[in-house]
Amino acid sequence: MKIHWKGVYPAITTKFNEDGSLDFETFEKNIHTQLDAGIHGIILGGTLGEASTLKNGEKLQLLEKTLELVDGNIPVIINIAEPTTDAAIEAALDAQKNGAAGLMLLPPMRYKADDRETVEYFKAVAESTELPIMIYNNPVDYGIEVTLDMFEQLTEHENIQAVKESTRDVTNVTRMINRFGDRFSVLCGVDTLAMETLLLGASGWVAGLVCAFPRETVSIYELCKAGKVDEAAEIYRWFMPLLELDINPKLVQNIKLAEVATGIGTEHVRKPRLKLAGKEREHVLGVIDSAMKARPKITQYLVNQKQPV
């Protein structure tokens, strides 16, 4: 399936039973809610998906189930976060063989590669697969920034097509467009900067709180792209306290609690993560409760579109 790199791409949480096994029943419920809201693609196995706790076989089970649920209507993208080039290539080949539409690719994990090493890593993975690739540029959390000069070296690989922009510097969107035009699609990777990034020309949003609030997330995207900025801003302002739960070391636990509040998830996580407790839990529940009481009524006129604007 061709990926247009436009629209809302949830970084889906992995659902677990209390004993730590995969909870496909709740996972299916969440995916159906996402699809009903009009999302444009799905990303599996990212940070929110607790990828570091998943076995390879479980990742493939999640991919198989997701492909079954989306039934060819939207692309399913697999995240690759590996410590070695060989492991990343193996993961890319597995994803291609098992039906993924594309890859989201992080720099090498654990070892802090320099610019040359990072570029060669990306090139090696790109050369190993026909799948389209979105580079995940998140120096805040992963310690490696993919600079514009590095992207210049990646232009020769046609299947490197997009960037998840998570540098926290919204001017990077303008810099990417100024230098590369439409060569790379730019997708926002930071929930609290989503509207700003979209209005500066980003084509999509790799979202976190969408896992609990898909209709609100899709509506902000659609309204921004339709030029209805005031309407988008009204939802976005309501959303902001929730979106701030995504820029936190406990983002997985935070968002899973939000999924509980909207009835499309559980708070089960895999160790070493633990459920929130004490004042930390009280604070997050307070944010969620306040938002739920003031939750806007989302009109349907820009929701449930099959294709992004």
Q: What is the set of domains in the chain, with CATH numbers?
A: 7-293 (3.20.20.70)
pLDDT band per the 50, 70, 90 thresholds, residue 298: confident
Residue 223's identity, in one-letter code, is L
Residue 100's identity, in one-letter code, is A
Helix (H) or strand (E) holding 7: strand 7-10
Query: What percentage of the chain carries pLDDT values higher than 70?
Result: 96
pLDDT at 110: 87
Only one residue has tokens 């309407």, namely: 231
pLDDT single digits (tens) 69-102: 999 999 999 999 999 999 999 999 999 999 999 9
pLDDT single digits (tens) 160-213: 999 999 999 999 999 999 999 999 999 999 999 999 999 999 999 999 999 999
Q: Which of 95, 81, 64 is nearest to 159 (CA)?
A: 95
pLDDT single digits (tens) 229-259: 999 999 999 999 999 999 999 999 999 999 9
Q: Which of 53, 50, 48, 105 is nearest to 79 (CA)?
A: 105
pLDDT band per the 50, 70, 90 thresholds, residue 1: confident
- Token digits of residue 236: 């976005």
- The verdict on whether omega for the bond into residue 272 sits within 30 degrees of 0, i.e. cis, is yes
- Token digits of residue 4: 């247009």
d(CA 12, CA 49): 6
Q: Which of 163, 125, 130, 162 is nearest to 145 (CA)?
A: 163
